[in-house]
Amino acid sequence: MKICKNCIQPDTRPGIFFDKNQICGSCLWHQEKHKINWLERERELKEIAVWAKQSTKSNYDCVIGVSGGKDSTKQAIIARDKLGLRCLLVNCQPAGITELGSKNIENLKNLGFDVISVRPNPKVIKLLIKHDFFKWLNPVKATEFALWSSTYIICDAFDIPLIIQGENPGLTLGARLTGVGTDSNCLNAEKLQTLSTGWEDYLEIEGIEPRDLFLFHYDKHSLESKNVKGIWLNYYLKDWSNFESATFAKKFGLQTRTMDTDPNSIGTYINEGSHPGTYFQLDTDLTQVNQLLKFLKFGFGQCMDHACYDILEGLLTREQAIELVKKYDGKCSPTYIEKFCN
- pLDDT in the model for residue 66: 98
**Are residues 98 and 284 in contact, defined by beta-carbon separation less than 8 angstroms?**
yes
- pLDDT in the model for residue 218: 95
Q: Which residues contact 268 (CB under 8 A, 6 or more apart)?
A: 276, 277, 280, 301, 302, 303, 306, 328, 329
Instruction: Assign 10 to helix, strand or coil.
Output: strand
Helices (H), ranges, 122-241: 122-136, 141-158, 169-172, 220-225
**Are residues 149 and 143 in contact, defined by beta-carbon separation less than 8 angstroms?**
no
Could you count the other beta carbons within 10 Å of the beta carbon of residue 56?
Answer: 18
Residue type, 206: E
**Are residues 149 and 216 in contact, defined by beta-carbon separation less than 8 angstroms?**
yes
pLDDT greater than 90 at residue 296: yes
**Are residues 161 and 228 in contact, defined by beta-carbon separation less than 8 angstroms?**
yes
pLDDT greater than 90 at residue 180: no
* Averaged pLDDT score across all residues of the chain: 96
In this predicted model, what pLDDT tens digit does every residue of 48-81 receive, in sequence order? 999 999 999 999 999 999 999 999 999 999 999 9
- pLDDT in the model for residue 193: 78
d(CA 61, CA 55): 8
Q: How far is CA 142 from its chain centroid?
A: 14
In this predicted model, what pLDDT tens digit does every residue of 309-328 receive, in sequence order? 999 999 999 999 999 999 99
Write down all domains in the chain, each with its CATH number in brackets. 37-235 (3.40.50), 256-341 (no CATH)
H or E, element range at 208: none
- pLDDT in the model for residue 179: 80
Instruction: Assign 194 to helix, strand or coil.
Output: coil
Q: Describe the crossing of helices 242-250 and 302-312 by its angle, rounded to 10 degrees.
A: 90
Q: How far is CA 83 from its chain centroid?
A: 22
Residue type, 127: L
Q: Compute the CA torsion angle 290, 296, 297, 302 (nearest 10 deg).
A: 50
Greatest pairwise CA separation for the chain in angstroms:
54
**Reported confidence tier of residue 195, pLDDT bands at 50, 70, 90:** confident
Q: Which residues contact 262 (CB under 8 A, 6 or more apart)?
A: 333
**Reported confidence tier of residue 191, pLDDT bands at 50, 70, 90:** confident
In this predicted model, what pLDDT tens digit does every residue of 1-21 receive, in sequence order? 899 999 999 999 999 999 999
Structural Rg of the chain based on CA atoms: 19
Question: The pTM is what?
Answer: 0.95
- pLDDT in the model for residue 190: 87
Q: What is the mean pLDDT of residues 239-268?
A: 96
- pLDDT in the model for residue 118: 96
**Reported confidence tier of residue 181, pLDDT bands at 50, 70, 90:** confident
- pLDDT in the model for residue 319: 98
Residue of higher predicted confidence among 159 and 188: 159
Q: What is the mean pLDDT of residues 36-58?
A: 98
In this predicted model, what pLDDT tens digit does every residue of 101-121 receive, in sequence order? 999 999 999 999 999 999 999
- pLDDT in the model for residue 23: 98
d(CA 55, CA 170): 29
pLDDT greater than 90 at residue 302: yes
- pLDDT in the model for residue 342: 85
- Residue 199 dihedral angles phi and psi, to the nearest 5°: -65, -25
**Reported confidence tier of residue 307, pLDDT bands at 50, 70, 90:** very high
**Reported confidence tier of residue 177, pLDDT bands at 50, 70, 90:** confident
